[in-house]
Amino acid sequence: MFFYKRGGITHPFYSLVFSFLLFSIIYLFLTSVGLAKKLDVNQATVEELEKLPGIGKKTAQAIVDYREKNGPFKSWEDLEKVKGLGPKKIQLLRSYLTLGEEGEKVKQDKKENTKAKGKNTFNSSSFKPLIYYYVDEKGKIHYTQFPESVPLKYRHSLRPVNP
């Protein structure tokens, strides 16, 4: 990391600001040149897919094979059907990939179908909020609907309440 010295004292804050500015300039340059564009998963080659984080040669080949066998990917859920890709990895890849024109058509069709139906089919009477509980070190039971509000040391013991 770069360090900026002022009066013989190193200031890490200045180095942090400098690093941020440097990486911002590099990113802006790459996007203006076109090197940081998203990759269309329906057009990408094995070599292009291999360059993405978390994608090896086998997974890249599996994506291309699945696409050739079943046609273009129309939604992100279609990618989950590829061996080696799970929801977490797909969530990571969404910042690097796009579904291209085929995916945009499907999104547009879904919007039109939703508008055509007019009503939401969600039945609020059958909805039950998910409630969690955990036991602290004193043996006291705590209930919550929001797992992120549970202290970190108790999150491993967080359990849903049976309906």
Amino acid at 101: E
Confidence class for position 75, pLDDT limits 50, 70, 90: confident
Instruction: Tell me: pLDDT of 39 over 70.
Output: yes
Q: Which of 120, 63, 114, 129 is nearest to 93 (CA)?
A: 63
pLDDT tens per residue, range 5-29: 555 555 666 677 777 777 777 766 6
Quickly name the fold that domain 39-103 has. Answer: DNA polymerase; domain 1 (1.10.150)
The ranges assigned to domains in the chain are: 4-33, 39-103, 124-163
Residue with tokens 């058509």: 105
Amino acid 32: pLDDT? 52
Long-range contacts of 132-140 (CB under 8 A, 24+ apart): 132/158, 132/159, 132/160, 132/161, 133/158, 133/159, 133/160, 133/161, 134/158, 134/159
Predicted local confidence at residue 21, as pLDDT: 77
Mean pLDDT calculated for residue range 63-91: 88
Q: Which amino acid is at 120?
A: N
Q: What average pLDDT is seen over the chain?
A: 76
